[in-house]
Structure 1
Amino acid sequence: MDNNSTLRPELVWIDGRCYRFGDSGVWSKDRGTAVYQEESMYLEDDYDSDEDSASEEFDVQPYNGRFKHTFYLAKPFFPFVIGTKGSTRKRLETETSTSIQIPKLGQNGDIVLVGPTRQKVILARQRIDNLIKTSRKKLHYTHFISIPTNCESVQNGFQKFKESVLAANEPMRGVEEEIFQNPKKMHLTIGMLVLVDSIEREEAVRALEHCKENIIAPAILKNGPLLLTVQGVDYMNDDPAEVNVLYAKVYSKDNVLQEIADQISDYFFDIGFLRKDADKVNLHITLMNTKFRIPEDERRGAKRETFDATKILKAHKDTKFGEFTLSTIHISQLHSQSSNGYYEITGSIIC
């Protein structure tokens, strides 16, 4: 998350507040020639139970002796629901005894489901939701939930760490200035998001507000202001002599930050915007990353040159970078830079 290009975001007003939304490319390059590829795996994990915790209360209305449900779906997902020559839609319609109306290719609009019973319509909606969750994994990340950690104390600590590493008496393989993080972009990532249009970005902003009211505010009310300590270093892989990412660890009293981060991650996962690679969020601040030495437009699939972090890990295992009080959480745009050097803000909350 280190791009230095600056986006020109669109301004959107939500509930009296102005948020900045930037256009992001969400399609992977290899999807361009196969967007109608049928998704066959969705049948394996169909949401058939009304008790499924991921389900919501759907607005199903009587309609000419049948039942009808209308809902918004972002345009980039239409091909996944249609499938090759309409095969996925036909299969969904057959197995749920419903008709599925989808706007024509290139047009915006709602999906309309019509079926003989309320249960059949709900089943069709649940299967489409499950299909979209699977399909979202095929798209590039566009945003991430971040805690800015670029306060003065942490930046100063990082600068001292950087100077110490670069001034080491003995050279360390692969260690050079260009793999260090931009101090203005220092952050802690709670989760990676795929938000394909302005509607989804608005929903994500509202979801963050929900997390503030139902997760963060109660935790702070119970524990007081959340002081975060940045201390010690660790690495992502198994071999300290072959490292791609080295990071600083983040702590809070009674593990409150971990609980907050995990609950936010769970909530965004449940509403379908976040992918989870683990049950718990890895609380870390990236200090060094070998991808920083590769031009951004060449990074996808590029081979990375690792570095030997053995001596760094030993010398800085207890290094304290600084402390700060949690004050804000952002939904940040990937591959962006604002006027203050941090990422462009899609939405934010004050903690």
Structure 2
Amino acid sequence: MDNNSTLRPELVWIDGRCYRFGDSGVWSKDRGTAVYQEESMYLEDDYDSDEDSASEEFDVQPYNGRFKHTFYLAKPFFPFVIGTKGSTRKRLETETSTSIQIPKLGQNGDIVLVGPTRQKVILARQRIDNLIKTSRKKLHYTHFISIPTNCESVQNGFQKFKESVLAANEPMRGVEEEIFQNPKKMHLTIGMLVLVDSIEREEAVRALEHCKENIIAPAILKNGPLLLTVQGVDYMNDDPAEVNVLYAKVYSKDNVLQEIADQISDYFFDIGFLRKDADKVNLHITLMNTKFRIPEDERRGAKRETFDATKILKAHKDTKFGEFMLSTIHISQLHSQSSNGYYEITGSIIC
């Protein structure tokens, strides 16, 4: 990795927000072995150096004439803090004048920072936090925030759509039954998550409860129960004859659902669990996806055969699949299936 690019990553401005363009690599499929590179060490000026405000956020205590801060970090992130042959930890320690104690290989535990001043300890913690945000991008998604849309009316509408497409008089390239969604798993995705252990999963569930109290409940109090209408189809690329994903669109009065989804996405992004590829959540219900042709354990990096959706888009541009009331939002486990056919639930809220 080029040292200049890691020290000063490319800044991209989107709709008035600034994003750092980080590495898009991923961990090895073997979760026990981390494939990592040297992480960027940001400059001290990147952080708020106000000791009083930072001390309120981080519990820094006097310790044998120095200062100490202890915090939990999930074990999969230890290799990123240590670096190749300990180089990342040594650099952090040198630049912040602290010592960084990390549990031994294979063990869980807390990170302990010890330094000469509160400010140095806080700086070390801030740099580790930003290091983890960057490192999380290297891990595979484990969960997602979902709104189940597998109610009876939408499932019935989907089944009629599927039968119509498969019964078309003229064949459409690549269109076959195996690329259609499982109706029991129909859902809206608000955001993809990386939750590496039980503690992070518990934190994510608490974050969803926070969103209920501070985002969802106020919106429903103001606008009333939220009726969602599933109508029309669209696709995720720029050529209707070369489509991988075809989806149904979702509408709500005064665009309230979009506002709720965007605020939930922003909150989970701010606490470090969610990655954002765009400023707004793309609210959609997948109807057809070419990855369904490929076994789940072979999908990563596999070449996909597109299908021609031109006639489907024309025939079903205004097709109404159904309506339902927003009632629950879940943190769902990827690549899972519960007894009712939907994804396994890590946590959920009633709206």
Distance 1:173 1:16, change over 3 A: closer
Distance 1:295 1:289, change over 3 A: same
Q: Residue deviations 1:274-329, cap 9 Å, x none?
A: 00000000000000000001111111111000000001111111111000000000
* CA contact 1:19–1:347 (8 Å) conserved in 2: no
Following the alignment from structure 1 to structure 2, what is the Cα–Cα distance between the partners of residues 55 and 110? 19
Q: How far 1:14 sits from its partner (Å)?
A: 38
The DSSP-based 3-state class of the residue aligned with 2:120 is: helix
* CA contact 1:9–1:23 (8 Å) conserved in 2: no
Distance 1:42 1:247, change over 3 A: farther
Distance 1:237 1:45, change over 3 A: farther
Match of 1:131 in 2: 131
Q: How far 1:35 sits from its partner (Å)?
A: 3.8
Distance 1:148 1:13, change over 3 A: farther
Following the alignment from structure 1 to structure 2, what is the Cα–Cα distance between the partners of residues 7 and 341? 47
Following the alignment from structure 2 to structure 1, what is the Cα–Cα distance between the partners of residues 348 and 5? 21
Q: How far 1:28 sits from its partner (Å)?
A: 3.1
Following the alignment from structure 1 to structure 2, what is the Cα–Cα distance between the partners of residues 328 and 66? 49
Distance 1:122 1:201, change over 3 A: same
Q: How far 1:207 sits from its partner (Å)?
A: 0.4
Which is further off, 35-44 or 289-298? 35-44
TM-score with structure 2 setting the length:
0.89
* CA contact 2:146–2:331 (8 Å) conserved in 1: yes
* CA contact 1:229–1:323 (8 Å) conserved in 2: yes
Q: Residue deviations 1:124-150, cap 9 Å, x none?
A: 111000000100000000000000000
Distance 1:314 1:246, change over 3 A: same
Superposed structure 1 runs of 4+ greater than 4 Å apart: 1-27, 30-34, 41-46, 48-56
Following the alignment from structure 1 to structure 2, what is the Cα–Cα distance between the partners of residues 83 and 49? 26
Match of 2:325 in 1: 325
Distance 1:33 1:347, change over 3 A: closer
The DSSP-based 3-state class of the residue aligned with 1:275 is: coil
* CA contact 1:4–1:337 (8 Å) conserved in 2: no
Q: Which runs of 5+ in 2 are unaligned?
A: none
The DSSP-based 3-state class of the residue aligned with 1:329 is: strand
Following the alignment from structure 1 to structure 2, what is the Cα–Cα distance between the partners of residues 342 and 179? 18
Q: How far 1:171 sits from its partner (Å)?
A: 0.6
Q: Residue deviations 1:224-243, cap 9 Å, x none?
A: 00000000100001100000
* CA contact 1:27–1:140 (8 Å) conserved in 2: yes
* CA contact 1:244–1:289 (8 Å) conserved in 2: yes
Following the alignment from structure 1 to structure 2, what is the Cα–Cα distance between the partners of residues 44 and 310? 53
The DSSP-based 3-state class of the residue aligned with 2:225 is: coil
Q: How far 1:223 sits from its partner (Å)?
A: 0.5
Following the alignment from structure 1 to structure 2, what is the Cα–Cα distance between the partners of residues 15 and 172? 38
Which is further off, 94-103 or 22-31? 22-31
Q: Residue deviations 1:188-237, cap 9 Å, x none?
A: 00000000000000000000000000000000000000000000100001
Q: How far 1:29 sits from its partner (Å)?
A: 2.0
Following the alignment from structure 2 to structure 1, what is the Cα–Cα distance between the partners of residues 13 and 56? 26
Following the alignment from structure 1 to structure 2, what is the Cα–Cα distance between the partners of residues 136 and 152? 37
Distance 1:36 1:138, change over 3 A: closer
Q: Which runs of 5+ in 1 are unaligned?
A: none
Structural RMSD (CA): 9.9
Residue 43 (str. 1) matches residue 20 (str. 2): no
Distance 1:207 1:172, change over 3 A: same
Distance 1:64 1:20, change over 3 A: closer
Following the alignment from structure 1 to structure 2, what is the Cα–Cα distance between the partners of residues 300 and 4? 30
Distance 1:285 1:94, change over 3 A: same
Which is further off, 11-20 or 337-346? 11-20
Q: How far 1:115 sits from its partner (Å)?
A: 1.2
Distance 1:344 1:31, change over 3 A: closer
Kindly indicate whether structure 1 or structure 2 has the higher relative contact order, using CA contacts under 8 Å at least 6 residues apart: 1
